[in-house]
């Protein structure tokens, strides 16, 4: 089984992906973690690397090609990342998480140890940058949710509750 989990920054994709990987005994591959690692290696924050990626297609290509390759060669895997639902066309279950900007900024502020206003401004900038890159590189409008099987508002449920909802979907898919 191949599952993708996507959503905007702070929507809870990584938390849900980790929980499901552990609960279902699946391997987790996170595009966001790959991007964060690249930023760290280059002594940049996510916004800086995002701006660099607007002019250097190799950054996104590296992550996207790796996701596609992993999805082609492995089964029993969860791929988490903004474009995972688009990149892994034959995934058994494609999930999109959403939440309001205010909720996501609060989560990001807590996670990254910054104030909420800064988290909000960085998130707006990051989303705008990503949207341009995805449109320019792939012709993808990130607001188009048509590839996704399940769209959940993570503001309503904590990761364990989201995991219960998704777990039910997984159990039905396993019965097919």
Model confidence at 137, pLDDT cuts 50, 70, 90, reads: confident
Mean pLDDT to the nearest integer, 77-105: 95
Q: Alpha helices of the chain — where are they, by DSSP H?
A: 13-24, 31-41, 46-55, 57-73, 84-87, 101-112, 116-138, 159-175
pLDDT digits (tens, 9 = 90+) for 96-113: 999 999 999 999 999 999
pLDDT digits (tens, 9 = 90+) for 21-64: 999 999 999 887 888 888 888 898 877 887 888 788 888 788 77
The model's pTM is: 0.87
pLDDT at 93 over 90: yes
Residue with the bigger pLDDT between 92 and 57: it is 92
Domains of the chain: 2-99+145-175 (3.40.50.300)
């Amino acid at each position: 089984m191949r599952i993708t989990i996507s959503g905007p920054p702070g929507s809870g994709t990584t938390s849900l992906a980790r929980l499901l990987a552990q609960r279902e005994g699946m391997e987790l591959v996170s595009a966001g973690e790959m991007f964060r690692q690249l930023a760290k290696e280059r002594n940049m924050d996510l916004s800086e690397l995002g701006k660099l990626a607007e002019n250097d297609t190799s950054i996104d290509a590296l992550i996207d090609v790796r996701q596609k390759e992993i999805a082609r060669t492995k089964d029993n895997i969860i791929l988490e990342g903004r474009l995972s639902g688009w990149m892994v066309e034959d995934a058994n279950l494609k999930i999109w998480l959403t939440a309001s900007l205010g909720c996501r900024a609060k989560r990001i502020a807590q996670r990254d140890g910054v104030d909420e206003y800064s988290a909000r401004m960085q998130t707006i900038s990051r989303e705008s940058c990503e949207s341009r890159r995805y449109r320019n590189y792939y012709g993808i409008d990130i607001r188009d949710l048509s590839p996704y099987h399940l769209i959940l508002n993570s503001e309503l449920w904590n990761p364990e509750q989201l995991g219960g909802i998704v777990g039910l979907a997984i159990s039905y898919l396993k019965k097919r």
